[in-house]
């Protein structure tokens, strides 16, 4: 790491100190121009030609702030002018000795301002004005409406499995890495069909730095191509958007994930506090699973948590004790009561492979479910179906709540 940082530092110093043009591919450093340009703190290189801003993300006073630095090669900077009406009128902009300048204006909602900047050096040469053109619009929408429009478009692209359209809503600076997310979404599309995602917004917060925080309650149904099964899950999750390029673009997502279920650990950057819903993940084989689906069943005193593998139904059965009952519709016998075969694996669900689980060697009929142990999985075989459970916490006499992960292989 030190070597890499040293190399990068050397590169930067040499690039800044020398008249290094090797990387700018033929551009001359002698012409009048702009060293950089920012619109409300976002580099004009990243905004694209159209910049849409929202009242909620503007600095107090509702002003759009344009900052930059003019350069003039060997000569000095003579003047900096700005036009907000496509060159119809120009205003002088004050600049300092080193060429840096700042200009603010308060836009009207819904109006578009075609902005151009003109830099003239002391010899009378000007920059390529048209290259600075940006259309700045203060959206008449509120940020909540924009969030919903963006989420609707993302969910529509994901539901229709249109990868390039979906990735158009992901920022280059996506925290989990945009390329990792793209491959994970591609794998989602190969693994799933008939995707149906719905949501409502729980919370929206916009900051002056242009970022927008969104918390949603989601509800999802998918068909899994590998198994032919349908699956539903729901819960709440959080996303953060940036507002570059004239639209909201995804900056980060937390677990449970909406998109990129095939590589959840690399796509997500954090876990939502307080999510009590189930979580859908896809494993390397394209089947549902990964770390399994987290299931929590809270029962009253004197009841025992019960769970049906094949349809995910939860129940509280009469009778106490320390057991959790697990059963399947096709075979309503309780696990451990003779007819089912089971096997203990000394690894977590995420480490179990399908081939390993589906190898019936070592499966035996046990009189009762063994005690849960850390890092272990318990797998059950019903005919051609295999289910595995990893305990998180079991019920006690004082608290009749069972929490466990379940995965079908």
Partner 1 sequence: MNRTAAALFLAFVTPSAAQQDQEAEFHASNEFSVVSNAIEGDGKAASSLTKGFNYLDVLNVYGSGTRGSWTYSYTAGGKATDDIRNDAKHLSLTNLQARASDKVHTLAVGDVFESFSQYALATSLKGASYRYAKQDSKLPEVTGVFGWAYPRWDSVWKDPVTRTVNRQAAGLRVKENFNGDLWAGLSAVSGKDTGRINPTDPLYDAKNYTLDFNYVPMPGLTADGEFSKADSAQTPSAGAAQVSANGTAAHFELVGDADPSRVSVEYENVEPDFYSALGSATPDRRKVKAKWRYKASKQVTVTSGLLWYRNNLDASSAAGTVRNWKPEISAAVKKPFASRRYSYADLSYKFDRKYGGGSSGADHYMNANYRDRFGPLDSDTNLGYTLYRTKTAVRDAKELNFNTSLNSRHQLSSVVLKPSVNLGTWYSRDELADTTDKLYEYSLGLGCEAPAASLTGDVRFGQNMLRKETGDDSAKFFAALSAYWRPKLLASIKESTVFLRADFNDYTFSTTSRNFREKSVTLGLNTAF
Q: Which of residues 170-209 bind partner 1 (CB under 8 A)?
A: 175-177, 179-180, 183, 186, 190, 193-194, 196, 198, 200-209
Q: How far is the CB of 45 from partner 1 (least distance, A)?
A: 5
Chain residues 355-394 in contact with partner 1, contact rule CB under 8 A: 355, 392-393
Kindly report whether the peptide bond that precedes residue 256 is cis, defined as omega within 30 degrees of 0.
yes
Chain residues 246-265 in contact with partner 1, contact rule CB under 8 A: 251-252, 265
Of 284, 274, 276, 236, residue with least CA distance to 257: 236
Q: How far is the CB of 179 from partner 1 (least distance, A)?
A: 5
Q: How far is the CB of 326 from partner 1 (least distance, A)?
A: 18
Establish if 49 lies at the interface with partner 1 (CB under 8 A).
no
Establish if 322 lies at the interface with partner 1 (CB under 8 A).
no
Whole-number Å distance between alpha carbons of 79 and 140 = 34
Among 5, 300, 301, 361, binds partner 1 (CB under 8 A): 5
* Sole window of 8-16, 73-81, 117-125, 331-339 interacting with partner 1 (rule: CB under 8 A): 8-16
Q: How far is the CB of 286 from partner 1 (least distance, A)?
A: 6
In this structure, what token pair is assigned to residue 371? 């005690």
Chain residues 140-169 in contact with partner 1, contact rule CB under 8 A: 142-145, 164
Among 6, 230, 333, 365, binds partner 1 (CB under 8 A): 230
Residues 6+ apart with CB under 8 A from 270: 238, 252, 254, 255
Among 8, 123, 322, 337, binds partner 1 (CB under 8 A): 8
Phi, psi of 36, rounded to the nearest 5 degrees: -160, 165
> Whose Cβ is closer to partner 1: residue 202's or residue 333's?
202
> Whose Cβ is closer to partner 1: residue 300's or residue 355's?
355
Whole-number Å distance between alpha carbons of 208 and 210 = 5
- 92 close to 83: Cβ distance less than 8 angstroms: no
In this structure, what token pair is assigned to residue 203? 């919370």
Q: CA gyration radius for the chain?
A: 29
* Sole window of 20-28, 78-86, 150-158, 366-374 interacting with partner 1 (rule: CB under 8 A): 20-28
Establish if 321 lies at the interface with partner 1 (CB under 8 A).
no
Establish if 343 lies at the interface with partner 1 (CB under 8 A).
no
Strands 303-308, 325-327: parallel, antiparallel or unpaired by DSSP? parallel
Q: How far is the CB of 35 from partner 1 (least distance, A)?
A: 5
Taking the CA atoms of residue 396, residue 302, residue 380 and residue 364 in that order, the dihedral angle to the nearest 10 degrees is 90
* Sole window of 77-85, 114-122, 138-146, 299-307 interacting with partner 1 (rule: CB under 8 A): 138-146
Spell 193-226 as b/e; 16+ CB within 10 A means b. Answer: eebebebeeeebebeeebbbbbebebebebebee
Of 55, 74, 86, 396, residue with least CA distance to 210: 55
Tally the C-alpha atoms within 13 A of residue 333's C-alpha that lie toward its C-beta: 16
Establish if 128 lies at the interface with partner 1 (CB under 8 A).
no
Chain residues 51-80 in contact with partner 1, contact rule CB under 8 A: 55-56, 59-62, 67, 69, 71
Q: How far is the CB of 398 from partner 1 (least distance, A)?
A: 10
Chain residues 88-127 in contact with partner 1, contact rule CB under 8 A: 98, 100, 102
Among 10, 322, 337, 351, binds partner 1 (CB under 8 A): 351
Residues that bind partner 1 (rule: CB under 8 A) add up to a total of 104
Among 88, 130, 274, 371, binds partner 1 (CB under 8 A): 274
Burial class (CB in 10 A: 0-12, 13-18, 19+), 375: exposed
Whole-number Å distance between alpha carbons of 21 and 136 = 31
């Amino acid at each position: 790491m030190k070597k890499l940082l040293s190399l990068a530092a050397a590169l930067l110093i040499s690039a800044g100190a020398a008249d290094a043009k090797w990387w700018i591919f033929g551009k001359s450093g002698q012409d009048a121009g702009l060293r950089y340009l920012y619109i409300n703190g976002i580099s004009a290189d990243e905004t694209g030609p159209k910049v849409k801003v929202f009242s909620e993300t503007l600095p107090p006073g509702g002003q759009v702030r344009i900052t930059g630095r003019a350069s003039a090669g060997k000569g000095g900077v003579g003047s900096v002018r700005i036009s907000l009406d496509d060159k119809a009128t120009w205003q002088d902009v004050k600049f300092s000795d080193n060429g840096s300048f700042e200009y603010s204006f308060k836009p009207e909602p819904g109006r578009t301002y075609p902005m151009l900047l003109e830099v003239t050096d002391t010899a009378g040469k000007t920059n390529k004005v048209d290259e600075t053109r940006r259309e700045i619009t203060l959206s008449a929408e509120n940020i909540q409406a924009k969030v919903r429009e963006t989420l609707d478009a993302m969910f529509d692209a994901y539901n229709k499995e249109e990868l390039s359209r979906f990735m158009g809503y992901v920022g280059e600076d996506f925290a989990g890495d945009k390329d990792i997310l793209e491959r994970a979404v591609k794998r989602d599309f190969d693994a799933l069909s008939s995707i149906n995602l719905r949501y409502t917004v729980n919370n929206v917060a916009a900051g002056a730095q242009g970022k927008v925080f969104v918390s949603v309650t989601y509800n999802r149904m998918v068909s899994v191509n590998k198994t032919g099964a349908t699956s539903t899950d729901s819960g709440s999750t959080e996303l953060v958007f940036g507002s570059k390029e004239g639209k909201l673009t995804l900056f980060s997502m937390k677990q449970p994930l909406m998109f990129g279920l095939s590589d959840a650990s690399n796509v997500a950057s954090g876990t939502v506090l307080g999510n009590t819903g189930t979580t859908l993940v896809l494993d390397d084989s394209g089947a549902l699973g990964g770390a399994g689906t987290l299931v929590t069943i809270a029962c009253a005193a004197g009841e025992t948590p019960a769970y049906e593998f094949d349809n995910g139904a939860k129940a509280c059965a009469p009778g106490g004790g320390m057991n959790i009952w697990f059963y399947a519709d096709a075979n309503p016998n309780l696990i451990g009561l003779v007819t089912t075969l089971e096997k203990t694996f000394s690894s977590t669900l995420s480490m179990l492979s399908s081939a390993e689980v589906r190898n019936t060697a070592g499966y035996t009929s046990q009189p009762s479910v063994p005690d849960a142990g850390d890092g272990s999985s318990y797998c059950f075989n019903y005919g051609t179906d295999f289910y595995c459970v990893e305990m998180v916490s079991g019920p006690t006499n004082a608290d009749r709540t069972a929490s466990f992960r379940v995965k079908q292989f």
